[in-house]
Amino acid sequence: MKNDFLQHVAARIGDNCVINVNYLPDNVSNFYKRKIKGIFRPNSLTALSQIVNEAKKYSGTRLHPISIGYNWGLGSKEDIADGSYLIELDNINAIRKINIEQGWAIVEPGVTQGQLSTLLKGTGKMINITASSAYSSFLGNALDRGVGLRHQRTEDLVGLEVILPNGKIIRVGWWPTEQHTAIYSHGVGPSLVQFFAQSSFGIVTAGVVKLHSRPELTNILRFNFSRSNLIPVITTLQHWVSNRVNSGVLKIYDSTANTTYGGIDSTYTVHMCIDGLEKDVYAKTQHILEYCEISDIFSNAVASQVNEDHYPGSDIIANLVEAAHVGDTSFNDVLLKKTLGAKHDMIDKTDNGWIFFLPLLPFTPDALLKAYEIIDEIHAESGILCGATINALNEGVIDLVISIAFNKKSEEQPRTLHALDLLHEKFQENGFIPYRLGVNHSEWASKITPSDSENDFIRELKSLIDPQNIISNDRYL
Ligand SMILES: Cc1cc2nc3c(=O)[nH]c(=O)nc-3n(C[C@H](O)[C@H](O)[C@H](O)COP(=O)(O)OP(=O)(O)OC[C@H]3O[C@@H](n4cnc5c(N)ncnc54)[C@H](O)[C@@H]3O)c2cc1C
């Protein structure tokens, strides 16, 4: 028996866009299933607009928007609390317009990173790819401040179209006009594109995405080191990053991460992109290879020149990292299958469990030593061994991607949830705060926001913009 609001909306937008269920299927993290009131899968902006406008008439209605919902490790499609309607936007999936020469594309929430990658193949432009599935949403990931191989995805968003809780549709940031204007997201006055990232101020219906020029030459260097050399290694890598030796996000997979993501190395592996003008790339590559050759901290250094027709090697991680740096998603789902044993549409349904914890650290040897000390403590306390990839976003910031792979049906399942709580507590105690949160830890948002006045201001804005509290993805409120 459908509830009133579901029936009301079904009569307006069509029965096939409305699903009467009380729970979502399993999620890959085995977080408890919230009770929901139903699912809407609108296939047009008009239908979505009708849902938001009708919601205002049903007091207490809460709408939880997702794009494709592959937020694996942080809650997948789950909301933070019971009682909302899930709004799945995967059927709103047009690439409305693209101008390769000027370097922009207008995409809807259901557009995947794989679709954009394919469209740009053979052109002078590419997008910033993440290591997640080719079938994940470009916009969804960017709105949660996901991180690509080149940089954090929010930097790729230059304009947004948003349905506000009052039903009004607005456009913020840069949008193409008949004249060729410079792509600049801030405009004049308050800068609003970032206002809608990690927020519950509206439902984003389209975004203008920046396309990036392909460099003349791209090399990916790969070399190993052992944990005992963490101090000199981090000192050296920080020096290289701060002197702009590399481009994009410098990535290190530790020994546990190498195993869980299906790499062949049993130690720590650095993946470093050097790109730009051909002669500069040759010179920098030579310099790093020579350094690795004579140093006693790095070993097994190799350089691969990558382009769209790159021939894959034997390491699943290296294949992904190399291809993704040139905007190619061909290897993303190979790594996903190796890591979680399933295709993208089955990830939430198998017994293979996955949890992410995503703190930011200063790019210093001390911070990394402390982080590994905490990971060891948690291993001793809970028996759960976390893997980590160390991602240098810039000369000062490490995005430490901590993952736990587990079996949902085994006795280790409750211990993984305990380990996740410990990660939040122990990292926060040391000033290492997460930049994204999972559905089970939304209460940390106000704890880690440095000032109470900022928390108050965000809540005041929420009550002004959404007085009926219709939009429910409040993970960061
Ligand atoms: C093996 C593996 C590798 C991964 N690698 C990466 C990686 O390199 N980088 C990375 O960032 N993540 C990574 N992930 C995590 C995750 O899979 C990605 O972040 C994925 O892109 C998120 O799913 P989605 O793009 O479909 O976004 P969604 O799940 O649709 O959206 C994410 C969140 O954004 C908000 N949102 C989405 N759409 C809207 C909207 N239209 N309006 C308002 N709010 C909205 C919602 O709160 C939603 O929960 C990885 C996961 C795995 C398992």
Report the pLDDT value the prediction gives residue 307, as an integer from 0 to 100. 87
Select 95-213's CATH number: 3.40.50.720, 3.90.1280.20, 3.30.465.10, 3.20.20.80.
Answer: 3.30.465.10
Answer whether 69 contacts ligand 1 (Cβ < 6 A).
Answer: yes
d(CA 96, CA 175): 12
Mean pLDDT of 102-130: 98
298 Cα–ligand 1 center, Å? 34
Q: Tell me the pLDDT tens digit for each residue of 210-263.
A: 999 999 999 999 999 999 999 999 999 999 999 999 999 999 999 999 999 999
Report the pLDDT value the prediction gives residue 116, as an integer from 0 to 100. 98
Q: What would the two tokens of residue 367 be? A: 């911070």
Mean pLDDT of 260-280: 97
Residues of the chain with CATH 3.30.465.10: 95-213
Answer whether 253 contacts ligand 1 (Cβ < 6 A).
Answer: no
Mean pLDDT of 67-81: 98
With 90 as the cut, is the pLDDT of residue 280 above it? yes
- Using an 8 Å Cβ cutoff, are 477 and 458 in contact? yes
Q: Tell me the pLDDT tens digit for each residue of 314-335.
A: 999 999 999 999 999 999 999 9
The answer to which of 1-15, 185-199, 317-331, 387-401 has the lowest mean pLDDT is 1-15
The pick from 34, 67, 251, 346 for probing ligand 1's pocket by mutation, whose C-beta has the most ligand atoms within 8 angstroms, reads 67
Does the structural domain 217-434 have CATH classification 3.40.462.10? yes
Report the pLDDT value the prediction gives residue 245, as an integer from 0 to 100. 98
Report the pLDDT value the prediction gives residue 1, as an integer from 0 to 100. 42
With bands split at pLDDT 50, 70 and 90, how would you rate the model's confidence at 308? confident
192 Cα–ligand 1 center, Å? 21
Q: What is the mean pLDDT of the chain?
A: 96
Report the pLDDT value the prediction gives residue 417, as an integer from 0 to 100. 95
154 Cα–ligand 1 center, Å? 12
Map the chain to HEC letters. Answer: CCCHHHHHHHHHHCHHHEECCCCCCCCCCCCCCCCCCEEECCCCHHHHHHHHHHHCCCCCCCEEEECCCCCCCCCCCCCCCCCCEEEECCCCCCEEEEECCCCEEEECCCCEHHHHHHHHCCCCEECCCCCCCCCCEHHHHHHCCCECCCCEHHHHEEEEEEECCCCCEEEEECCCCCCCCCCCCCCCCCCCCHHHCCCCCCEEEEEEEECEECCCEEEEEEEEECHHHHHHHHHHHHHHHHCCCCEEEEEEECHHHHHHCCCCCCCEEEEEEEEECHHHHHHHHHHHHHHHHHCCCCEEEEEEEECCCCCCCCCHHHHHHHHHHCCCCCCHHHHHHHHHCCCHHHHHHCCEEEEEECEEEECCHHHHHHHHHHHHHHHHHHCCCCEEEEEECCCCEEEEEEEEEEECCCCCHHHHHHHHHHHHHHHHHCCCCECCCCHHHCCHHHHHCCCHHHHHHHHHHHHHHCCCCCECCCCCC
Choice between 301 and 475, residue whose per-residue pLDDT is larger = 301
- Using an 8 Å Cβ cutoff, are 235 and 364 in contact? no
Report the pLDDT value the prediction gives residue 309, as an integer from 0 to 100. 80
Mean pLDDT of 148-162: 98
The pick from 28, 141, 389 for probing ligand 1's pocket by mutation, whose C-beta has the most ligand atoms within 8 angstroms, reads 141
Mean pLDDT of 65-89: 98
Answer whether 144 contacts ligand 1 (Cβ < 6 A).
Answer: yes
With bands split at pLDDT 50, 70 and 90, how would you rate the model's confidence at 473? confident
Answer whether 353 contacts ligand 1 (Cβ < 6 A).
Answer: no
With 70 as the cut, is the pLDDT of residue 125 above it? yes
Q: Tell me the pLDDT tens digit for each residue of 336-393.
A: 999 999 999 999 999 999 999 999 999 999 999 999 999 999 999 999 999 999 999 9
Answer whether 207 contacts ligand 1 (Cβ < 6 A).
Answer: no
d(CA 192, CA 158): 10
Residues of the chain with CATH 3.40.462.10: 217-434
d(CA 425, CA 413): 19
